[in-house]
Chains A and B, each alone.
Chain A
Amino acid sequence: MRNVLISTVSWVYATLIFGFIFLPVAVLVLFSFQDGRLPVPPFNGFSTQWYAAVFADRKLMAALANSFVVALVSSLIACLLGFLAAYALARHKLPGSALQRGLLIAPMTVSYLIIALGLLTVLNTFGIPLSLWTVGVGHVVINLPLCFAIIYSSMGDHHINIERAARDLGASDFKVMVLVTAPMLMPSILAAFFLSVTFSWDEFIIAFLLSRFDVTLPVEIWSLLRSGLNPKTNAIGSLVFLVSVAALLLLEFTLFRKSGKS
């Protein structure tokens, strides 16, 4: 009897919370198919006109492309720098290594708004114009700690002997890193990379403050919001959701497969 009560309460609670969690997303996706000008009830009928409108919107498509490029390039740089630093700090005894690790992780503890404002102050002082490059620099700053932490924590000591063996067989440091260490750490490098891509792809405040003429997708969506409730915003929002979930599944799949093998 008591157990039945707990079960019932549990299910009711879970249903309510899941309802709360999914309500806005469901409304977003449903009304992206609205046949009418307002993405609110009543639902007038099914139409894909707003998706057509999104793909016909040059500015949105340009922003989409910009976001892809910024996310890929900044994540590549963050991963590369993070990997090199993790390799050096995990495999060599360097003076002040705890301080170095702390410094590399530090940006993680500071609000994006403050990182953006700091960079903006410097760029203004030196008269450097804002562009997608400055956005990319900001995104590397926020993603580098993440990449470093993920890759560093996966550099177990059990890999050292394999690297020593490679070196004994005459491989240079560079060769060891590219042909031995990197492949062994591929799951965590990929995890760091995809996580960076999704963070950069979705980041707003740095992209907003550090860009001017060419903008990324979240900034372009932000300016769409000025027109109020608009099914086109629903459509682009639903598309972004699908892309992100696809990226998430890809990450889950690659990691799952790799860990399943070993």
Chain B
Amino acid sequence: MFAQTLEQTERRKAWGFVAPALVWTLAFFVVPFLFMVAMSLWSRQSGQIVRAWNLDNYFAFFEKAALFKGLINSLEITLIVTVLSVLLAYPLAWIIAERVPKRFQRLALILAILPFWTSYVVRSYSWLLVLSKNGVVNQTLMTIGLVSEPLELASNRTATVIGFVHFFVMLLTLTIYANLVQLSPNYRRAAADLGANAFQTFRHVILPLTLPGIMTGAFLTFVLCIGDYVTPQILGGNNELVLPQIIMLQLGRRADFPMAAALSIILMLAVTLAYVLCARWLKIERA
């Protein structure tokens, strides 16, 4: 009897400790999300939000080319960025893990991710300094006489991709390096003993073992890249808008909250789909 009441008071206390965090998450994350789902089923007509429940916003997304193209642009850019970042980051992570002496590895890694700590908005802006018409690259090319007219390097998809790849190469170097240093050197010795050359060892032993690190990093890249507004807005120009830019347009000029909400949910579904695909693929690899 006594023990039970003691347990009950203990449990009540524990609820008291966990409650603030739960209430905060419910009130400012779950409830707003449900509001957004509801909002996406309403519509905006002549400046008023009409609370009539239907899927019109979602149908409009598939019917209006301007909206649908946003998702396609987002997916294309995100895929290019993810693949390029993995391809560029893997060799760097490998060099730091295998070629740099042990005591300098930490330093090399800190250096490799130092520009991470420039302000998010400023990072894209500094690429503008490099790529714009009178920027560093164009001035250099003109000085050495390779081009006579400045090239249009900023305000297009290439600039967006460069800005993104710059950020994600740093991130992926970190995740892949973490994976590489965990591998026991015995794997390589065993492969060599069995007659594998350096390339075969890499292809059949090291690469499959670092696949989890690659996939974690690639998924993170996908999620952060597809949801980003700042980089494409600063570097991408106005020709090929990505989904977050279109969402912000709905909010700004037209104050069309229902449409913005619907597009956000579509964005979220894309991320969920990527997660499902990645998770399944990883599981097959592990078995």
Residues in chain A within 8 A of chain B (CB atoms)? 7, 10, 13-14, 17-18, 20-25, 27-28, 31, 38-42, 81-82, 84-85, 87-89, 91-92, 94, 100, 103-104, 106-107, 109-115, 117-122, 124-125, 137-138, 140-141, 144, 148, 173, 198, 202-205, 209, 217-218, 221-222, 225, 229, 233-234, 236-237, 240-241, 244-245, 248
A118 to B123, CA, bound (A): 27
B36 in contact with A114 (CB, 8 Å): yes
Given A81-B24, A240-B122: A10 touches B39 (CB 8 Å cut-off)? no
Please choose the segment from B26-34, B55-63, B64-72 that sits at the chain A interface, where 4 or more of its residues have CB less than 8 A away.
Answer: B26-34
Q: A39 to chain B: which residues have CB within 8 Å?
A: 129
Given A114-B36, A114-B227: A24 touches B261 (CB 8 Å cut-off)? no
Give 1 or 0 for each of B110-128: 1 = CB within 8 Å of chain A CB: 0110110111111101111
A141 in contact with B29 (CB, 8 Å): yes
A110 to B271, CA, bound (A): 9
Counting CB contacts under 8 A, is B22 at the interface?
A: yes
Q: How many residues of B contact A (CB 8 A)?
A: 72
B24 in contact with A218 (CB, 8 Å): no
A81 to B64, CA, bound (A): 44
Q: B15 to chain A: which residues have CB within 8 Å?
A: 88, 94
- Selected contact of B244 from candidates A113, A121, A202, CB within 8 Å: A113
A118 in contact with B118 (CB, 8 Å): no
Counting CB contacts under 8 A, is B176 at the interface?
A: no
Taking A13-B95, A87-B17 as known contacts, 5 extra A-B pairs with beta carbons closer than 8 A to each other, sorted by chain A number, are A85-B18, A88-B15, A113-B267, A141-B28, A237-B119
Give the Cβ gap from A201 to chain B, nearest Cβ, in Å: 8
- Selected contact of B32 from candidates A20, A119, A204, CB within 8 Å: A119
Q: B96 to chain A: which residues have CB within 8 Å?
A: 14
Give the Cβ gap from B34 to chain A, nearest Cβ, in Å: 8
Given A221-B119, A241-B122: A119 touches B264 (CB 8 Å cut-off)? no
B25 in contact with A117 (CB, 8 Å): no
Give the Cβ gap from B113 to chain A, nearest Cβ, in Å: 8
* CB-nearest residue of chain B to A42: B139
Give the Cβ gap from B217 to chain A, nearest Cβ, in Å: 16
A209 to B248, CA, bound (A): 9
> Can you give 7 contacting A-B residue pairs, CB < 8 Å?
A20-B166, A21-B112, A24-B123, A81-B24, A103-B25, A113-B244, A114-B36
Please choose the segment from B6-14, B178-186, B206-214, B276-284 that sits at the chain A interface, where 4 or more of its residues have CB less than 8 A away.
Answer: B6-14
